[in-house]
Structure formats: structure tokens, C-alpha cells
Amino acid sequence: MKYPIPVTFYKLPDGEKREVFLEAEEESYFTNAMIILKNGFKFEFEILTSDEVSLTIVNILTDRDVAIEIAPTYHYFHVTKAFQKLITNFNLENPNA
């Protein structure tokens, strides 16, 4: 089963904003992502001109990135792994660490 997580996607070339879903393969990632979202954060991703993918956690109140992971390509495997790492390593008690 796959678990959809809401993410804001900024599309090249003009940064058009779209609301999409990234799918978590495991329920534990989905659960952690929902905890992050319920605590005033959101997920964003964009494909960079280098073809790398930037995945971030953003504080909704300050609109500042508080965590980032880079996937080497837009390939589903790389994006999923980077997104899982972003969720797993995020520290709610110290979000700027």
C-alpha cells in the first residue's frame, strides 16, 4: 500500500506552483510526515536546472526552509529515498538543527 503525502511542487521553467502528492512506501514514513505537517510545517520540492531535486521542509509561519535533502535526479527511486531521509532525520524539537 502507498500513502500519499501532500507536497508543493515548483515546476520549471517559471516556478509554477502545484499541489501534488509524493507516495510513502511505508506507513511509518507517512505517520512521521503527518506529524510534521500537523506541527506547522509543509513539504516542497523542485527540480533544479542541474536536474537534481531539492526537497525541503518549510516552517509555515516564517516561510523558511528548516531542512533540505537533494536527490541526484528526478528518478522516482532517488526522490523517494531523499524524501524518506528528509522525514526520518527531521527533529521537531529542534527544527533548525
Instruction: Give mean pLDDT in consecutive 10-residue pieces for the chain, a chain of 97 residues.
Output: 92 87 90 96 94 95 96 90 94 77
Q: How many CB atoms lie within 10 A of CB 95?
A: 16
Which residues have CB under 8 Å from 89's CB, separation 6+? 67, 69
Quick one: pLDDT at residue 23?
87
Quick one: pLDDT at residue 97?
55
Q: Taking the complete model, does pTM exceed 0.85, yes or no?
A: yes
Quick one: pLDDT at residue 1?
79
